[in-house]
Structure 1
């Protein structure tokens, strides 16, 4: 078995997944849109800007080593053997990406004839009917259908009211989620910013934002007086936490609403969620106060809401599926 010194290991860690697949398994790369790719084996594993995230499993990383170990099940030494021959290759050239930074054209799917299945699904997740009514009336959610599959479409808007972000979540037993073509995570799903409130409450996903609003309503708090923002999925800090950047959705929000000076973190009670909270607390500007407030019980805000309401927690037994 070969021996790898620390320098060789560090070089191997610099080889990202796109470069590795392009060189070693080009048949696995499938172009999705812009600079976004998936793999032929896993169409919910998205590769973009030197990072990858397997959305249906909630895991991600930067390097080909991470992918081989976490997705393919290789041992560290097996992964090193696969990558070492390419470790001297330069990191992927994503310099072409900025040239494509034109305004993104968001492709929203057509709505279903009605929203009934979506409303039943979200009510089953404990979301308040008041919150649902608001989101439907303002175009933040609607139901769509694709090849017989029902989905919730979550929409995010910029300050002018233009739709800039969209993602899907399946509403059947075999669940699915993913971003729409042209979606811009700078403008992720949010509930209305209140001009007078100097704080923002940050959750991982749209359902958690709606769950937090529903929890406020349970406690007699006017959720419409709060700024509620989602990260639009898993935020992956760098290995060295201090070198991480703030999530783009939070960065954009703080730029758009400079009166906001306090950030409440309601991220998941799991490894990625705790790491994301630590990274945000570490790298955010000193002009902001950060309060780490994970859900008191359960994996995420929606789990906690369901526990409060005494209803079953969806997805506790099954896995996210791909399609």
Structure 2
């Protein structure tokens, strides 16, 4: 059997998986900080090209394991395959020149809040006091197109970020960030504890606050923020602004992208912070909220308070 030196093995494991996957004809789609391999059910490659996870098979690793799993080769043949590729095919892609960010301007306000209020309360099931609270804090308003505008501020309380969500309940709905938004400044709920709860969207965050009420939790002191996706830029900035925080509760979506993001967050933050996870039962916490409100009695879906209070060490720690 062919034997390889440690240098050769390191060389094989140094191949960029994104470039390799494209070379062998796989189709990739950018999802947050990773690439999804189409037609391979749950196979994701990290944006660095150094590692991967195949959630439907519960496997992952580096380039050698990738070739073994995806191409069905043994270890020796996988190393040989990677050492045989043309290195010129794996030169780093040139980064586009960064353009200077233009001015950030919030969308024009409507002269009413009624469409936003109706959408969030009636269509999304969010408690009216939660909605009103964010309106009073100037973190939520209705624009001229009758859409929701969720705002993120910097430490001087200057708006730096905004995401727009249309209030349409039929036909096509729009969601996106306002031009020149800076994702480092998230839509958030300021807390006073040492825990921050992390969500993908403002509606999930507001749904969680509503679910707390359904579960009889009247006092909630944890910080909460929306990433506006699954990238961690907002979290990274928030942690720097709040050095007292020592625990991160990941409340990301219960789907492949959310699971993969949790893996990445755990790898990046686990040395300094205690990471916990509260996964929704459905795809996200708004789906859970709507399920409770429309299909089942509140008592039938009660979870133990500790899932929301995060006050004991009996919560589910990330087993990653």
How high is the TM-score relative to the length of structure 1? 0.63
Confirm or deny: 8 A CA contact 1:213 1:223 kept in the other structure. no
| Aligned residue number for residue 130 of structure 1 | 129
**TM-superposed deviation, 1:14:** 3.9
* 1:250 positional shift: 0.7
Q: 282, 287, 292: which is aligned to 1:298?
A: 282
Alpha-carbon deviation of 1:92?
2.6
TM-fit CA distance, 1:226? 2.3
**Other-structure match for 1:282:** 267
- Write out per-residue CA displacement over residues 83-135 of structure 1, whole angstroms, 9 at most, x where no aligned residue: x9x957751333x32x73x6x63221101120111111101201111111111
Distance 1:207 1:113, change over 3 A: same
Q: Provide, for residues 264-319 of structure 1, a one-character-per-residue CA deviation record: whole Å limited to 9, x for no partner.
A: 11111110011111111122141210111101x2100111111122269xxxxxxx
Q: Of 202, 205, 209, which residue of structure 1 is paired with 2:205?
A: 209
Q: Pick closer, same or farther for the CA change 1:179–1:299 going to 2, 3 Å.
A: same
Partner in structure 1 of residue 239 of structure 2 = 254
Residues 1:229 and 2:213 are matched in the alignment: no
Residue in structure 1 matched with residue 159 of structure 2 by the alignment? 163
- Of structures 1 and 2, the one scoring higher in RCO (CA 8 A, sep 6+) is 1
Q: TM-score, normalised by structure 2?
A: 0.63
The equivalent of 1:316 in structure 2 is none
Can you list the C-alpha shifts for 1:216-269, whole angstroms capped at 9, x where unaligned?
12223246622111111133xxxxxxxxxxx11111111000001011111111
Change over 3 Å in CA distance of 1:224–1:192 after alignment to 2: farther
- How does 1:1-323 map onto structure 2 within 5 Å? 13-14=18-19, 87=89, 90-94=92-96, 96-97=97-98, 100=100, 105-123=103-121, 124-146=123-145, 150-172=146-168, 173=170, 174-194=172-192, 197-222=193-218, 225-235=221-231, 247-295=232-280, 297-310=281-294
SS of alignment partner, residue 225 of structure 1: coil
Other structure's SS at 1:145 match? coil
Aligned-partner Cα distance in 1 for 2:120–2:225: 18
Q: Which consecutive unaligned segments of at least 5 residues does structure 2 have?
A: 1-10, 23-28, 37-43, 49-69, 71-85, 297-320
Could you give the per-residue CA deviations for residues 162-206 of structure 1, whole angstroms, max 9, x where no partner exists?
A: 111101111112211011111111111111232xx0100111111
CA RMSD of aligned residues (A): 3.6
Please state how far the C-alpha of 1:151 moved relative to its aligned partner. 1.2
1:217–1:223: 8 Å Cα contact kept in structure 2? Answer: no
Which consecutive residues of structure 1, in runs of 5 or more, have no partner in the other structure? Answer: 1-5, 18-44, 54-59, 64-75, 77-83, 236-246, 313-323
Partner of residue 61, structure 2: none
